[in-house]
Chain A
Amino acid sequence: MSRLRVEPRVTESVIAQYLVPVVAIVLTLLSGTVLFTFLGKAPSAVLYTFLIEPLTSRFGIGEVLLKMAPLLLIAQGLAIGFRARVWNIGAEGQLIIGGIFASVIAIHYNESESTWILPAMVFAGMLGGIFWASIAAYLRVRFNANEILVTFMLSSVALQILYFLVTGPLRDPDGFNFPQSVVFADSALFGVLIEGTRANTSLLIGLTLSVLAYVFIRHSLPGFKLSVSGAAPRAARYAGFAESQAIWLGLIIGGAAAGLAGVGEVAGPIGQLQRTISPGYGFAGIIVAFLGGLHPIGICLAAFFMAILYVGGDMALISVGIPNAATTIFQGMLLIFYLASYLFVHYRISFQGRAAAT
């Protein structure tokens, strides 16, 4: 009798590493198509609206770039922590606090036309994200409190803080009691990147950060230490790399990037502070980070793809009547198929005919 066996590879398969995200995307699209065919939608229409339609118009491409900006920022930041196995799953909360910090400046100096407003907001948003992530880092380093649970709980707390602020202290006094702040002045908004679209210059921050992330991982000592802490914790300890340093660095970088993403939202497409400033970018960023193989270049591609899914999801809601939940389901499936196919990076399937028969 012959049987299949899973055997460890001596070295990681490089080809498999490149193939894994592709396989994950193909399998997700296949399963998604099957699912929505089952729900009575034409498979071709589903695939077209999700993947092609966002890229067929200037508006669509602008929307994709608009949504790519926060995903790119968050994923680049998170990936650096994930490499060190620092599990920050609270980017959503860090984004919210970053958005709030930036908004406070925009609201306070609403009359000002100074060119320093936007840079100040960017700085404040980054500090906000760092502040929120630092709480988790401190509690983990000082009290050993699990950062996965703490960062998630802090996200829920951040959302309540946002609700409180937009219904009270930061609410527009002339806004008929709507839970939102004043509309920001032009000096507090990112410039438009491509004429005729909503894509704004915050994408440039994301791209700059991607380059910095590449340099950080490849050419800096702290970046190297982080990677070793993740890949071989015992070796890292033996070499004297402090675990607490990895936790602080991983969370602070993730928080800063998520905070920046928050600025990009309030000073971008939203243009004010309101109850919803992110459609779950913080969680989608986790998937983008993995799908990009925790590598800066891969993450750029993955963020672009995920942004297409977001825009495609919005379009599918209108043109094919597919509920918004589809985007979330696709996100979950992407990571599931990614993790499943990743087995083949470290292992190979061997077919043992004779050996098992004897």
Chain B
Amino acid sequence: MTETLIFICAGTMAAATPILFAAMGELVVERTGVLNLSIEGMMATGAAAAFAVATVYESSLLGFAVATISAGLLSVVFATLTLIFLANQVAAGLAVGILGLGVSALIGKKHEGFTIEPLKSVDWGFLSDIPVVGRILFQHDFVLYAGILLIAIVWFVLTRTKLGLIIKAVGEAPEAAHAIGYPVILIRFLAVFFGGAMAGLGGAYLTLAYTPLWAEGLVAGRGWIAVALVVFGSWRAHRVALGAYLFGAISLLELSIQGLGLAIPSQVLSAAPYVMTIVILVLISRDARQIRLNSPASLGVTYRHQS
């Protein structure tokens, strides 16, 4: 029993990490008032690019770097469409998302069926040897810890710094932010790039550490769940992070229930994260007033300089 619990807790942290990166990125993007629905495609591109590079050059680090850049490039396409060509953000997100899925399939095709050595765990010395807690918290790779650091950084920047104030001002009232001299378009552009890069990192974590292999459809809706988590977390870093870990646990359900020997069809368990997303969205969105209060006022609205 303890073994199962340790397995679930440690596994939750790993399963949550890809969604965590993507959701933290999307949080920052949405805080500037931009709704990026192409996260799924960016994660897929990051995942495929990272895996391709890692198998060819045998370097995970290079894989993460290339994933960040390639998903970042995709996000530049999205940013250009929505911020410069003033396209509808929903439609643009779908378009770039589909492109990303196509690109990932093209890149990944040649590397299907290969596996690579997953990332090594960080050596925490005696901490890793603590019973139970050590195995849950201190036997993971460095990227997982970077994810936890990311929560702290995003939280700190959004709530405690001037940059956070500017980001929120741009998201709440772009006209006003422009009037006091902030470059609204540039700030949004950079935020979208950051969001894309983080989605790419999340995707890379899937193929380089979590699975570690590439197959088409591997991302399996995680990008969309990340978007939903930002709503779930009411646009606040710590709540979004909590949501990511919750979903990590749910996605482990399949393995753990099979471990317990319960006869539940595997499809029911595979559908669980999607059903849970819907349930959570319903519970959170029920109070329309609360959502209006928490969501960035200009979210999804096209902005153009009135100069």
User: Closest CB-CB distance, A40 to chain B, in whole Å?
Assistant: 13
CB proximity to B under 8 Å, residues A40-73: none
Indicate if the CB atoms of A329 and B87 lie closer than 8 Å. Answer: no
Q: A323-B109, A327-B102, A338-B95 are in contact. List 17 more A-B contacts (CB 8 A).
A: A87-B90, A89-B94, A144-B286, A146-B231, A149-B227, A153-B274, A154-B274, A156-B271, A160-B267, A161-B271, A324-B105, A329-B102, A331-B98, A332-B41, A332-B95, A343-B85, A346-B86
| Interface of chain B residues 96 through 122 with chain A (CB within 8 A) | 96-106, 109
B96 touches A152 (CB 8 A): no
Distance of B264 from chain A, by nearest CB (Å): 11
Could you show 29 A-B contacts with beta carbons less than 8 Å apart? Answer: A145-B278, A145-B285, A150-B278, A152-B221, A153-B228, A153-B275, A153-B277, A160-B270, A160-B274, A167-B267, A287-B98, A323-B106, A325-B102, A328-B105, A332-B95, A332-B97, A333-B99, A335-B91, A335-B94, A335-B95, A336-B81, A336-B95, A339-B91, A339-B92, A339-B95, A342-B85, A342-B87, A343-B86, A343-B87
Verify A143–B86 contact, CB threshold 8 A: no
Residue of B nearest to A337 (CB): B95
**Quick one: CB contact mask for A198-224 with B, threshold 8 Å, 1 for yes?**
000000000000000000000000000
For residue A178, CB closer than 8 A to chain B, the reply is no
Question: Which single member of A164, A325, A340 contacts B265 (CB below 8 Å)?
Answer: A164
B153 at the interface (CB under 8 A from A): no
Contact A154 B221, beta carbon cutoff 8 Å: no
List B contacts of A329 (CB < 8 A).
99, 102-103, 106
CA distance A52 to B96 in the complex (A): 27
Q: Is B77 an interface residue (CB 8 A)?
A: yes
> Which residues of A (155-204) have their CB < 8 Å from a CB of B?
156-157, 160-161, 163-164, 167-168
Give a binary string over B270-292; 1 marks a CB under 8 Å from any A CB, 0 the rest.
11001101100110011010010
B109 contacts across to A, CB distance below 8 A: 323, 325
Contacts A143-B285, A163-B267: A157 and B90 contacting too (C-beta < 8 A)?
A: no
Interface membership of B59, Cβ < 8 A: no
Per-residue CB contact flags for chain B residues 182-223 toward chain A (1 = under 8 Å, else 0) read 000000000000000000000000000000000000001100
Bound Cα distance from A224 to B268, whole angstroms: 42
Quick one: which of A256-306 are within 8 Å of B by CB?
Answer: 283, 286-287, 290
Q: Across the interface, name the chain B residue whose C-beta is closest to A286.
A: B94
How many Å lie between the Cα of A347 and that of B81 in the bound state?
14
A-B contact count (CB 8 A): 135
Number of interface residues of A (CB under 8 A): 46
Interface residues of B, dominant DSSP: helix
Interface majority SS (helix, strand, loop, mixed), chain A:
helix
Give CA–CA (A353, B274) in the complex, Å.
55
CA–CA, A101 and B265, complex, Å: 21
Complex partner residue of B228 from A144, A149, A290, A342, CB under 8 angstroms:
A149
Q: Whole-angstrom distance between the alpha carbons of A164 and B271 in the complex?
A: 11
Most buried by A among B94, B105, B224: B94
Complex Cα–Cα for A89 and B109 (A) = 26
Q: Does A139 contact B (CB under 8 A)?
A: yes
- Which residue of chain B lies nearest to A324 when distances are taken between CB atoms in the complex? B105
Minimum C-beta distance from B91 to chain A (A): 6
**B4 in the interface (beta carbon within 8 A):** no
Residues of chain B within 8 A (CB-CB) of A146 are: 228, 231, 281, 285
Question: Do A326 and B227 touch (CB < 8 A)?
Answer: no
Q: Quick check: is B240 within 8 A (CB to CB) of the other chain?
A: no
Asked if B94 and A144 make an inter-chain contact with CB atoms under 8 angstroms apart, the answer reads no
For A330, list chain B residues within 8 Å (CB): 102
> Within 8 Å CB of A325, what residues of B?
102-106, 109
**In the complex, which residues of chain B have a beta carbon less than 8 angstroms from the beta carbon of A287?**
95, 98
B293 to chain A, nearest CB (A): 13
Is A148 in the interface zone, CB < 8 Å from B?
yes
Instruction: State whether A152 and B81 are in contact (beta carbons under 8 Å apart), knowing that A143-B285, A168-B265, A333-B99 are contacts in the complex.
Output: no
Measured between beta carbons, the chain B residues less than 8 angstroms from A149 are 224, 227-228, 231, 277-278, 281
Report if B88 contacts A (CB, 8 A): yes
B37 adjacent to chain A (CB < 8 Å): yes
Report if A326-B231 is in contact (Cβ < 8 Å); known contacts: A152-B221, A157-B271.
no
Which of B80, B100, B105 is the most central at the interface, judged by chain A CB atoms within 10 Å of its CB?
Answer: B105
Known: A149-B277, A150-B278, A329-B103. A283 touches B91 (CB 8 A): no
Q: Please, which residues of chain B bring their CB within 8 A of the CB of A346?
A: 86
CB distance from A277 to the nearest CB of B (A): 16
Instruction: Select one of A144, A148, A156, A339 contacting B291, CB under 8 A.
Output: A144
